Amino acid sequence: MGIKKNNERTLVAGIGSALTDLLIHEEDAFLEKCGAVKGGMVYTEPEHLGKMLTLTANPPSVVPGGSACNTIIGVGKLGGPARFVGKCGKGEIGQLYEQDLRRNGVEPLLFTSATPSGRVLSVITPDAQRSMMTYLGASAETRPEEITPGCFADSAIVHVEGYLLFNRELIQAALESARQAGALISIDLASFTVVEQAKDFLDELVREYVDILIANEDEAAAFTGFTRPDDAIKALSEKSPVSVLKVGPEGSYVSEGKEIIKIAAKIGEPIVDTTGAGDLWASGFLYGLAHDFSLEKAAMLGSLCGYEVCKTDGARIPEEKWEGIRRYFS
């Protein structure tokens, strides 16, 4: 592989927002009522989230999450050493969040705040798309000076959540600390809305720091200007040593240098909910790279993880499915 990791390391660390997911199923008309962007993410206040929950017929499913956290939990469930860095509230939700990380094989490195923990209302529509409204809460109070190279000690890969692009000083601190720790750096572009708002400095950050760039079609189009997958993955490959383009039911493309590999999507049971599909794709891919899989094998593991999470509500794969995934790639 063109990227060179420390061969004695296999730990994947992630940094991002420590958020609790509230999952509800609604029709598209609900998105208009609550001001959500179809397939995207908008920020809101807790009062608005509370109001929207009064308009839904069924109580939400509650699952600790956040994009980078979902990815790192997936790495832990695959059996790899994993660490999550973030900030949550000091109350019960924050305590449950830490317990959930440990239960899923992840080392928590959590800063705390008197501000309540953040949460996300994820609205799942009949087409299995998810549209998110986010209250960052305590997670927004992570300070750049808190993120040091020690946060990423012994990491093979540091996975940076794209939502941190909303805080330029914080993401700069995370990238610089990861580099000083001697880790490869992965970033998931998170949402086309994030890319659009960070366009003025995103290209510079990617070129200077990022070894592994992960995007879906919408994010890649916002970043490169190309909508055709062949053009988009070529443009992404010119920005980062390893690049990933996820194209939903059409599968994915991965590139390293001039080599581009097309990975077919898994086909089988119907898709229920795409929440966490990209996050869990990253779990498999990063686990594979950290354990010296070939680029193609790592992407195949990513594809399998991304497919399995789409067969259930939320960003968690049932334990019996993890057992099958681990056996398949052992």
98-116 pLDDT per residue, tens: 999 999 999 999 999 999 9
What is the per-residue pLDDT for 2? Answer: 59
Residue at 51 is within a domain:
no
Tell me the percentage of the chain whose pLDDT exceeds 70.
99
pTM score of the predicted model: 0.89
Averaged pLDDT for residues 55-59 = 86
Please list, in sequence order, all residues whose beta carbon lies within 8 angstroms of the beta carbon of residue 225, skipping any fewer than 6 positions away.
235
Chain-wide mean pLDDT for the chain? 92
Produce one character per residue of 62-89: b if its CB has 16 or more CB atoms within 10 Å, e if not.
ebbbbbbbbbbbbbbbbebbbbbbbbbb
Residue at 264 is within a domain:
yes
Please list, in sequence order, all residues whose beta carbon lies within 8 angstroms of the beta carbon of residue 103, skipping any fewer than 6 positions away.
none
What CATH code is carried by the domain that includes residue 90? 3.40.1190.20
Residue at 89 is within a domain:
yes
Produce one character per residue of 6-21: b if its CB has 16 or more CB atoms within 10 Å, e if not.
eeebbbbbbbbbbbbb
What is the per-residue pLDDT for 267? Answer: 73
157 backbone dihedrals φ, ψ, rounded to 5°: -135, 135
Range of the domain at 87: 11-19+66-118+136-328
- CB contact at 8 A, 283 and 290: no
Instruction: Name the DSSP letter for residue 8.
Output: T
How many domains does one find in the chain?
1
Residue at 255 is within a domain:
yes
Instruction: Please report, as a single letter, which amino acid is at residue 309.
Output: V
Residue at 322 is within a domain:
yes
User: For residue 120, what is the enclosing H or E element?
Assistant: strand 118-124
Is pLDDT at 83 greater than 70 in this prediction?
yes
DSSP assignment of 228-293: SHHHHHHHHHTTSSEEEEE-GGG-EEEEETTEEEEEPPP--SPP---TTHHHHHHHHHHHHHHTT-
Residue at 288 is within a domain:
yes
DSSP assignment of 268-282: -SPP---TTHHHHHH
Is pLDDT at 222 greater than 90 in this prediction?
yes
Residue at 53 is within a domain:
no
For CA atoms 168, 171, 173, 176, give the dihedral sign. negative
The CB density around residue 33, as the number of other CB atoms within 10 Å, is 13
Task: Please state, in angstroms and as integers, the Cα–Cα distance from residue 103 to each residue in 21, 96, 163, 169, 194, following that order.
Answer: 17, 10, 25, 32, 31
Residue at 52 is within a domain:
no
What is the per-residue pLDDT for 62? Answer: 79
249-300 pLDDT per residue, tens: 899 999 998 899 999 987 777 788 777 899 999 999 999 999 999 999 999 9
DSSP assignment of 56-118: SSSPPEEEEE-HHHHHHHHHHHTT--EEEEEEEESSHHHHHHHHHHHHTT-EEEEEEESSPPE
